[in-house]
Amino acid sequence: MPKKGLGVLREAARVKYEFIESYTGGYSISLMCRTLEVSRGGYYKWCHHTPSERSKRRERFEQLVMCTFAQYRARYGSVRITEELNEAGYACCVNYVADIMKEKGIRARNGKGFKYSKDVAAMTNVADNLLRRDFESDTPNQKWVTDITYIWVKSRWLFLVTVMDLHSRRIVGWSLGTTMTVELITNALKMAFESRKPPKGVIIHSDRGVKYQDFMRNHGGVPSMSRQGNCWDNAVMESFYSRLKVELIYAEDYQTSKKPEWASSNTSRYFTIAEEDTQR
């Protein structure tokens, strides 16, 4: 057989071995080996002789699990995270995900969420919900929505704040940092105000906001806030972050980045491409 053909066969076997590893604990190894037509001996040999590949794959899934956990704000446990990953094309079983979550010390929250810096943690709902889940807008700069998502990169969190114009669904302001602070949030709003120069009265909807409502009002914005714990009040941003999760955060090059500056540059490029898509 040509060398190229042997390489293809080896690659096919590796993919099967990785699949078996992902579902270990959910199904019998013997059963999976028979079904996939590979030998148990070959699988165990792969496990023993390729620790670097296995460790890389484990690290990859750790990052995927952490990103999904953060994306849904600690509301999802191992079952829901497994469903999300499989839907995104990353085959794994509940036991594999649960083992990673246990190792990382994370679990679905029961009334508790992420820890913010003190200034952000002090925020409470002090503005009415003016948006009322009406995500349609007749003109640009009439309604903006803003939200925060959490990205797990190289054993630490990055915090991404975005501002979206509901008329075009474009991201008009954003900010990325290693610490969740009011400054990070206002930086995203500054970008939006400077780039769009909206008329007075633009509604700016968020889930938190007491500490930067003065900033909004000073720029002619009208604060609107979600009811506490109700993600559907800001469903458009939730949907956007789900798309970003699949198209950017899950991307291999993003997950292997070591510097926040690189992540910031790549995020900016993603928003540019997303804006071009909305113009087509």
**Cα–chain-centroid distance for residue 213?**
26
Question: According to the model, what pLDDT value does residue 125 have?
Answer: 47
Question: According to the model, what pLDDT value does residue 165 have?
Answer: 92
Q: Which domains does the chain have, with CATH numbers?
A: 3-104 (no CATH), 118-278 (3.30.420.10)
Question: According to the model, what pLDDT value does residue 231 have?
Answer: 59
Amino acid identity of 259?
K
User: Looking at per-residue confidence, does 19 or 133 come out higher?
Assistant: 19
pLDDT band at 266 (very low <50, low <70, confident <90, very high): low
Distance CA 112, CA 97 (A): 21
Q: Which of 263, 223, 237 is nearest to 72 (CA)?
A: 237
